[in-house]
Amino acid sequence: MRRRFSKGVIAILVIVTMLAVAITVGVFTLINRVTPFRETGEGCRITTPGGTLDLEIDQAQVAAVIAAVAARRKLPERAVVIAYATGIQESKLLSLPFGDRDSVGVFQQRPSQGWGTPKQLIDPVYATGKFFSALVKVKGYLKLPLHEAAQRVQRSADGSAYAQHEDEGKILAAAFTGRVPRAVHCWFPEPTSTPRASGTATPKPPADRAMRGLVHAMGASATFAAASSREGWLRASWSVAHAQKFGLRRIRYSGQTWTSADGEAGWKPDTTAPAGRVEIS
């Protein structure tokens, strides 16, 4: 027997359906208006002709360290790309205090295999140095496919996995080595007090021994000479990535200025910013 609904019941069903559709559309619209990455109130954006990447500040700091260590060793950009692809696959560019079996650090190196002590390997500077020392011993590593070069260093279970991060590695390398100007900017909430004015010593462990001079004068501005545009932007990018950690408020270089007060806006033209030196304060 066919059930018949009264006009009142049908009207109620129509109203309920319309309300459900309206609520769904409203929620969908709200979700699409919200940018989850910005809800955290902090982060870094890497922008190059090759693409754009969003990083956590901790990831940007590790990326800056890798580029700085490579610069100190005078390694080519290809070596940096290989290091980034490896670090992304192994730890998402985070200096992890744990991992598979006894693996730790950015590259998940194992103390039991002679890479160093757990304490040493958690230091991105040390871990990166060990990675590059092994990489340059790989014959013809600059001409090898990325995953093959990385695998000869890492000797992981699935060496092919490194290949999927090559494009990301190229974007990061172009930015943090300084080849692409103004490629790195970060933002974070303004601190209620200035860490550099507290009179404390340089934070430990130093994020990068090769560039600890950037923060040697706690509470005072500092200027660092740049022998080339590339070196200048490497130093500037390193400083932006570590600005939150060391309480840096302003970085100026080559006609551009970044400030922590307006970090998300990125670098802005500043005709008074020097070309031959990086100024931080």
Cβ-based neighbour number of residue 75 at 10 Å: 19
The full set of domain ranges for the chain reads: 191-280
Contacts of 104 (CB under 8 A, 6+ apart): 96, 97, 98, 110, 111, 118, 121, 122
CB 68 within 8 A of CB 234: yes
For residue 222, the model assigns a pLDDT of 87
Q: Which residue is listed with tokens 């545009």?
A: 229
Residue 271's H or E segment, with its range, is: none
Contacts of 216 (CB under 8 A, 6+ apart): 202, 222
Query: Which of 222, 277, 274 lies closest to 247, judged by CA?
Result: 222
* Distances 79 to 88, 136, 201, 229 between C-alpha atoms, Å: 14, 8, 34, 20
Given a cut of 50, the residues of the chain with pLDDT beneath it are 1-3, 5, 9-38, 194-207, 210, 213-219
For residue 119, give the 3-state DSSP assignment: helix
> Looking at the DSSP assignment, which residues form a beta bridge with residue 186?
44
For residues 253, 256, 257, 262, the Cα torsion angle rounded to the nearest 10 degrees is -150
pLDDT per position as a tens digit, 196-231: 433 333 333 334 554 554 444 334 578 989 999 999
For residue 158, the model assigns a pLDDT of 84
For residue 8, the model assigns a pLDDT of 53
For residue 192, the model assigns a pLDDT of 63
For residue 208, the model assigns a pLDDT of 52
DSSP 155-201: --S-GGGGGGGHHHHHHHHHHHTSSSTT-EEEE-PPPSS-GGGG-PP
Would you state the structure tokens that stand for residue 26, as one six-digit string? 């409203």
Amino acid at the residue 61 = Q
For residue 202, the model assigns a pLDDT of 32
Residue 250's H or E segment, with its range, is: strand 250-253
For residue 32, the model assigns a pLDDT of 35
CB 178 within 8 A of CB 231: yes
Cβ-based neighbour number of residue 245 at 10 Å: 15
- d(CA 260, CA 190) in angstroms, rounded, equals 7
Cβ-based neighbour number of residue 60 at 10 Å: 30
Q: Which residue is listed with tokens 């974007």?
A: 171
pLDDT per position as a tens digit, 33-47: 333 334 569 999 999
